[in-house]
Amino acid sequence: MTTETTSTATAKIPAPATPYQMDIARYWNNEARPVNLRLGDVDGLYHHHYGIGAVDHAALGDPAHSEYEKKLIAELHRLESAQAEFLLDHLGAVQPDDTLVDAGCGRGGSMVMAHRRFGCRVEGVTLSATQADFGNRRARELRIDDHVRSRVCDMLDTPFDKGSVTASWNNESTMYVDLHDLFAEHSRFLKVGGRYVTITGCWNPRYGQPSKWVSQINAHFECNIHSRREYLRAMADNRLVPQTIVDLTPDTLPYWELRATSSLVTGIEKAFIESYRDGSFQYVLIAADRV
């Protein structure tokens, strides 16, 4: 399921807009962490985001059991899919003839879930040709490639027509771009009355400045985590009015605590756990109306 092939996504790849975007394209083209591929192999939905919800300890069973690691991987994947379902819950009433946009779509797991739920078109953009090819191959395998398409494209400069999109989202992909530029672009292609949703990690203005843990996460992923205040300000400046804000920090901690015990650790688990516990970092959903 994870063999790489070339496809139309790479046929005409636009040049990344900046040297930073070239670094990010290279980062995701080379990414093949077992914590992402082995979880995706559970059911063919490949995510690059984290999980929410309570751990099902009954399903995990005895840590000494030979099947425990396999169950742990399935449980981490279940929590990551629950996160994507929660995001989709906030997109509003999407109809089969609507178009959705996944900005920073990764390997496309959330796009497949959105199409299964709403039956609509889902357009994804990523800087990585490897990811776009992967997502398009999965869509072909699932025979939904007439509705689900990934392309290599800067989310700040997309080909979607003004006012043509019913709902759009960023799932853990806002920390790679300037928020004013990002929300201006969503606001341009969203219909008036359309919906924008993000799930993201942000630093907490109540802490003061980004903590050492937040700085570690930035260095680990070559990203730039924004503050909660910056999200709300940039939305307000771009005709996006928050309807729902959910602090998911308590809901994501069990995922991290479980992941820290697995064989698939990457070394970043402590920074997430410590920053969520000391209040310097928050995991939030923001759903906004395009007015």
Ligand X SMILES: CC(C)=CCC/C(C)=C/COP(=O)(O)OP(=O)(O)O
Ligand Y SMILES: C[S@@+](CC[C@H](N)C(=O)[O-])C[C@H]1O[C@@H](n2cnc3c(N)ncnc32)[C@H](O)[C@@H]1O
The residues of the shown chain that bind ligand Y, judged by CB under 6 A, are: 21, 24, 28, 47-49, 104-106, 109-110, 125-128, 131, 154-156, 171-173, 176-177
Q: Which does 288 bind (CB under 5 to 8 A by kind): ligand Y, ligand X, Mg ion, none?
A: none
Figure out which of the listed residues 36, 158, 168, 227 binds Mg ion, where binding follows CB under 5 A: 36
Are 192 and 291 spatial neighbours (Cβ–Cβ below 8 Å)? Answer: yes
Q: Which is nearer to ligand Y, 65 or 220 (CB)?
A: 220
What residues contact 133, with CB distance under 8 A and at least 6 apart? 4, 5, 6, 7, 9, 10, 150
- The Cα 222–Cα 26 span in angstroms is 11
Q: Which does 268 bind (CB under 5 to 8 A by kind): ligand Y, ligand X, Mg ion, none?
A: ligand X
Q: Which does 266 bind (CB under 5 to 8 A by kind): Mg ion, ligand X, ligand Y, none?
A: ligand X
- The Cα 116–Cα 108 span in angstroms is 13
Q: Which does 228 bind (CB under 5 to 8 A by kind): Mg ion, ligand Y, ligand X, none?
A: none
Minimum Å distance from CB 193 to ligand X? 29
Minimum Å distance from CB 124 to ligand X? 15
- The Cα 263–Cα 66 span in angstroms is 14
Task: Determine if 9 is a binding residue for ligand X (CB under 6 A).
Answer: no
∠ CA 2-8-119, nearest 5°, is 75
Contacting range for Mg ion; rule: CB under 5 A; set: 35-43, 112-120, 159-167, 181-189 = 35-43
Contacting range for ligand X; rule: CB under 6 A; set: 29-37, 116-124, 139-147, 228-236 = 29-37
What residues contact 285, with CB distance under 8 A and at least 6 apart? 86, 87, 90, 197, 198, 199, 244, 245, 246, 248
At residue 31, φ and ψ (nearest 5 deg) are -75, 130
Minimum Å distance from CB 171 to ligand Y? 4
According to DSSP, the β-strands at 281-290 and 190-203 are: antiparallel
Task: Determine if 198 is a binding residue for Mg ion (CB under 5 A).
Answer: no
∠ CA 187-125-264, nearest 5°, is 120
Q: Which is nearer to Mg ion, 183 or 256 (CB)?
A: 256
